[in-house]
Amino acid sequence: MAKTFNMYMIKGYKNEKDAEIIENILKSIEGIIKFKVEKAFGAVELTYDDEKVSREEISNKLKTKGFELKY
């Protein structure tokens, strides 16, 4: 397992309701080890197994609800 940790800004993030949507999306993605949505900044700390999921795949899942990882 190759762990990757990064912090990303989230394009499209506006409020705490958005944070709940983002959290639910991230919970559903296999390969994400842990995450923390930084509600005050519109950012997310992500630790994931890059052998199971890529940054692009995570971003694409978020795009289905109008969000995007900024990197």
1-11 pLDDT, tens digit each: 789 999 999 99
| pLDDT band, residue 66 (cuts 50/70/90) | very high
Instruction: Give how many domains the chain has, as a whole number.
Output: 1
Measured N-to-C along each axis, helices 16-27 and 55-63 cross at an angle, to the nearest 10 degrees, of: 130
Tell me the pLDDT of the chain averaged across its residues: 95
Q: Is 61 helix (H, G, I), strand (E, B) or coil?
A: helix
Which residue range is the domain that position 47 belongs to? 3-70
- What's the pLDDT score for residue 2? 85
44-64 average pLDDT score:
96
22-36 average pLDDT score:
98
CATH label of the domain that carries residue 38? 3.30.70.100
Q: Is 36 helix (H, G, I), strand (E, B) or coil?
A: strand
